[in-house]
C-alpha cells in the first residue's frame, strides 16, 4: 500500500485584496483523503510565513504550497531552494508576476488540480546578498514605488498606479552607484535598475518580456535619470509595447553583477514586490541555476 502524499498549504489570508478563502473541505474536494495528507497552515501575522514553511519541512511535507502573492511565494520558496521539495502555488496576490510566468491558473480548483498532477520543473533563483528572489528585484524608482505601495491598505492595480505617481512626484536625493556587470563598469544615478529572473513583474507589465526562468541568466535593465517626458515614454512601452526596447535604457544578460552605493551604507530595494532595506554599501547579485522545483500546469 502506497503512503499518502503529504501536502502542506501555507496561507497568507491578507495577500492582495485580503480575506483569502481556503479550507480543508475545499482542498479535499480535489486532493482526496485516501491518497493525500493535507495540512493547512494559516499565517497569523506578516512575519511567520518562513517559520510555517520550516515547520512543514520538519514535519515531512512532500509538497509545500504557497497561497498568496509574490511576497508570500518568496518567503515559502526561499526555504525550499536546493531541496527536493517542490513548490506549489495558489494565486491570492495582486501582482502575481511569477505565477503569471508559470501559467498558474487563476481559478482555485484548477490550481488545485495542477498541484494534484504534480508536474514540476526546475527554475533558476536570483540571489542578492543573503536574500533570494524568484521574479525580480530593483532599486531606484521601482523600490520607491513598492515602498509606497506597501503602506497602502488596498493592494490593487489602482493602488499601484497611485504609488507610482507618488514615487515620480517625490523629490529625494538621487542614488549614486558604481555598476559592474562582467567587464562593463559605469557610475550611474539610476532612475531604474531592474534585475529580473521572470518575464513579468505583475499586472501583466514587464521590463524584460524575453526573460526565462531556466536560462541560467538574469535580465538587467537600467537607465540614468530621465526627464518627465522620457519617463512617460518608458512607462508606455512597459505597458503597451513590451517587446520594444527603450532607447535610453541599457540591457544585459548576466550570471552575476555588483552594485556599490557611493554615498550611503544601505540600499532600499524592491524584492519580489516587497520593500526591503539591505544594510550594506554593496549588492552582490547572482543566479543559482535550476535551484528550485516548481509545480506547473501539464499544458
Each residue's pLDDT tens digit, 67-84: 998 999 999 999 999 999
Task: Give, in words, the CATH class of 131-288.
Answer: mainly beta
- What is the CATH code of the structural domain delimited by 5-118? 3.40.50.10330
User: Do residues 73 and 101 touch, judged by C-beta distance below 8 A?
Assistant: no
- Give the pLDDT of residue 46: 64
Tell me the three state secondary structure of residue 57. Answer: helix
120 phi, psi to nearest 5 deg: -120, 150
User: Who wins on pLDDT, 159 or 284?
Assistant: 284
pLDDT average, residue stretch 234-261:
81
User: Who wins on pLDDT, 21 or 76?
Assistant: 76
Res. 167: pLDDT tops 60: no
Specify the pTM: 0.88
Each residue's pLDDT tens digit, 118-151: 999 999 999 999 999 999 999 976 565 655 555 5
> Strand pairing of 282-295 and 120-128?
antiparallel
- Give the pLDDT of residue 135: 95
The ranges assigned to domains in the chain are 5-118, 131-288
Res. 163: pLDDT tops 50: no
User: Who wins on pLDDT, 175 or 202?
Assistant: 175
Cell 520593500 belongs to 275
The grid coordinates of residue 66 equal: 504557497
pLDDT average, residue stretch 202-229:
87
- Give the pLDDT of residue 96: 86
Residue 161 neighbours by CB under 8 Å, 6+ apart: none
Tell me the three state secondary structure of residue 99. Answer: helix
- Give the pLDDT of residue 283: 98
> Strand pairing of 282-295 and 256-261?
antiparallel
Report the distance separating Cα 84 and Cα 292, nearest Å.
8
Res. 173: pLDDT tops 70: no
Res. 245: pLDDT tops 80: no
Amino acid at each position: 500500500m502506497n503512503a499518502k502524499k503529504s501536502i502542506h498549504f501555507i496561507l497568507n489570508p491578507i495577500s492582495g485584496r485580503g480575506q483569502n478563502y481556503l479550507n480543508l473541505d475545499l482542498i479535499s474536494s480535489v486532493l482526496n483523503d485516501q491518497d493525500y495528507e493535507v495540512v493547512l497552515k494559516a499565517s497569523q501575522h506578516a512575519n511567520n510565513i518562513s517559520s510555517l514553511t520550516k515547520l512543514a519541512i520538519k514535519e515531512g511535507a512532500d509538497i509545500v504550497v504557497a497561497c498568496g502573492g509574490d511576497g508570500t511565494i518568496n518567503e515559502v520558496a526561499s526555504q525550499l531552494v536546493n531541496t527536493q521539495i517542490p513548490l506549489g502555488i495558489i494565486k491570492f496576490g495582486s501582482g502575481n508576476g511569477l505565477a503569471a510566468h508559470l501559467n498558474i491558473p487563476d481559478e482555485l480548483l484548477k490550481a488545485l488540480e495542477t498541484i494534484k498532477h504534480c508536474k514540476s520543473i526546475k527554475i533558476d533563483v536570483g540571489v542578492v546578498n543573503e536574500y533570494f528572489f524568484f521574479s525580480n528585484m530593483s532599486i531606484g524608482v521601482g523600490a520607491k514605488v513598492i515602498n509606497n505601495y506597501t503602506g497602502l491598505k488596498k493592494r490593487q492595480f489602482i493602488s499601484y498606479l497611485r504609488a507610482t505617481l507618488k514615487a515620480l512626484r517625490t523629490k529625494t536625493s538621487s542614488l549614486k552607484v558604481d555598476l559592474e556587470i562582467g567587464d562593463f563598469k559605469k557610475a550611474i544615478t539610476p532612475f531604474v535598475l531592474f534585475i529580473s529572473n521572470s518575464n513579468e513583474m505583475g499586472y501583466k507589465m514587464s521590463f524584460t518580456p524575453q526573460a526565462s526562468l531556466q536560462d541560467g541568466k538574469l535580465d538587467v535593465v537600467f537607465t540614468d535619470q530621465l526627464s518627465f517626458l522620457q519617463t512617460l515614454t518608458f512607462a508606455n512601452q512597459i505597458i503597451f509595447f513590451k517587446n520594444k526596447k527603450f532607447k535610453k535604457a541599457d540591457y544585459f544578460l548576466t550570471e552575476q553583477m555588483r552594485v556599490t552605493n557611493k554615498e550611503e551604507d544601505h540600499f532600499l530595494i524592491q524584492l519580489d514586490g516587497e520593500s526591503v532595506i539591505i544594510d550594506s554599501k554593496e549588492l552582490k547579485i547572482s543566479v543559482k541555476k535550476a535551484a528550485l522545483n516548481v509545480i506547473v500546469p501539464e499544458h
